[in-house]
């Protein structure tokens, strides 16, 4: 990835408890903060049907928010991040919509009810938001995205990540995913095509 400055994706598939997380942790432990920026997210068993649950987890990692952060704390962090993402444009429609949607996903107090933003606006706004975040991250340092337990990923996050992978950036990006051998993951054409090893015998 560093040599060719390309985008790579790796999916580590293995049964429950074989050590997928441990493997990735050990790999990430060997990477210094100067070498790459690491962002993590994980899918959870209870959240497979919660729209954008995985993206919310990623946003918490970027914002430094605990999962059980108080609504006012969520709001405070979001308001602090807004000028960084939309410099001079904090009160634009795009910024306000993004704030509203993220507030909703992360459980901010002032968040409006879900019904007020339609699904397509939500999708578009979140894509624009993630693209903005990527653009504001440290120079052209490589980015490692670690997504854990993607067999539990919610559909909306999956589609969003797939859409994001199509957007070209000069920054090298390494996506590392772990998954149990779920048909949704293993039967994906890209994965079955590139499958070469590692099934347990
Ligand atoms: N190489 C290893 N040697 C000893 N213990 C290990 C090793 N790898 C993992 N473990 C232990 O095995 C347990 C399961 O590991 P881990 O959480 O990495 O599995 P996993 O594949 O991510 O599981 P799951 O599918 O449940 O998410 C952990 O308690 C971990 O500490
Ligand atoms: Mg695991």
**Average pLDDT of 175-186?**
87
For residue range 1-26, list pLDDT tens digits in order.
555 567 788 999 999 999 999 999 99
Find the 182 Cα to ligand 2 centroid distance in Å: 14
**3-class SS string, 109-166:** CCCCCHHHCCHHHHHHHHHHHHHHHHHHCCCCCCEEEEEECHHHCCHHHHHHHHHHHC
Pick the closest to residue 101 from 129, 132, 67, 70 (CA basis). Answer: 129
* 3-class secondary structure, 175: strand
Give the pLDDT confidence score for residue 184 in this predicted structure: 78
Per-residue pLDDT band at 64 (split at 50, 70, 90): very high
**Average pLDDT of 165-186?**
85
Give the pLDDT confidence score for residue 201 in this predicted structure: 42
For residue range 130-154, list pLDDT tens digits in order.
989 888 887 778 999 999 999 999 9
Which tokens in the block code for residue 198?
């590692």
Cα distances from 192 to residues 7, 11, 179, 197, in angstroms, run 19, 11, 14, 11
> Mutation test of ligand 1: which of 15, 21, 200 has the most ligand atoms closer than 8 Å to its C-beta?
21
Does the beta carbon of 181 sit less than 6 angstroms from any atom of ligand 1?
Answer: no
For residue range 156-174, list pLDDT tens digits in order.
998 998 888 778 888 888 9
Does the beta carbon of 16 sit less than 6 angstroms from any atom of ligand 1?
Answer: yes
93 or 201, higher pLDDT = 93
Does the beta carbon of 127 sit less than 6 angstroms from any atom of ligand 1?
Answer: no
For atom 10 of ligand 1, which residue has the closest CA? 19
User: Which ligand minimizes its atom distance to the CA of 23?
Assistant: 1
Does the beta carbon of 96 sit less than 6 angstroms from any atom of ligand 1?
Answer: no
Find the 118 Cα to ligand 1 centroid distance in Å: 41
Task: Tell me the pTM.
Answer: 0.84
Domains located in the chain, CATH noted: 7-197 (3.40.50.300)
For residue range 66-119, list pLDDT tens digits in order.
989 999 999 999 999 999 999 999 999 889 999 999 999 998 876 555 557 888
Give the pLDDT confidence score for residue 27 in this predicted structure: 96
Find the 134 Cα to ligand 2 centroid distance in Å: 26
Per-residue pLDDT band at 200 (split at 50, 70, 90): very low
d(CA 160, CA 52) in angstroms, rounded, equals 9
């Amino acid at each position: 990835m560093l040599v060719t400055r390309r985008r790579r994706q790796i999916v580590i598939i293995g049964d429950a408890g074989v050590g997928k997380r441990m493997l990735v942790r050990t790999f990430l432990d060997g990477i210094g903060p100067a070498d790459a920026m690491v962002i993590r997210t994980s899918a959870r068993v209870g959240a497979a049907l919660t729209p954008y649950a995985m993206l919310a987890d990623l946003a918490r990692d970027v914002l430094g928010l605990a999962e059980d952060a108080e609504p006012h704390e969520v709001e405070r962090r979001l308001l602090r991040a807004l000028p960084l993402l939309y410099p001079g444009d904090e009160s634009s429609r795009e910024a306000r919509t993004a704030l509203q949607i993220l507030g909703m996903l992360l459980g901010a107090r002032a968040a409006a009810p879900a019904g007020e933003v339609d699904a397509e606006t939500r999708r578009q706004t979140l894509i624009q938001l993630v693209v903005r975040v990527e653009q504001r991250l440290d120079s052209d340092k490589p980015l490692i995205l670690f997504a854990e337990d993607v067999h539990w990923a919610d559909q909306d996050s999956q589609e969003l990540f797939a859409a994001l992978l199509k957007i070209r950036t000069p920054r090298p990006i390494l996506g590392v995913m772990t998954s149990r051998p779920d048909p949704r993951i293993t039967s994906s054409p890209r994965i079955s095509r590139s499958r070469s090893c590692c099934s347990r015998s």
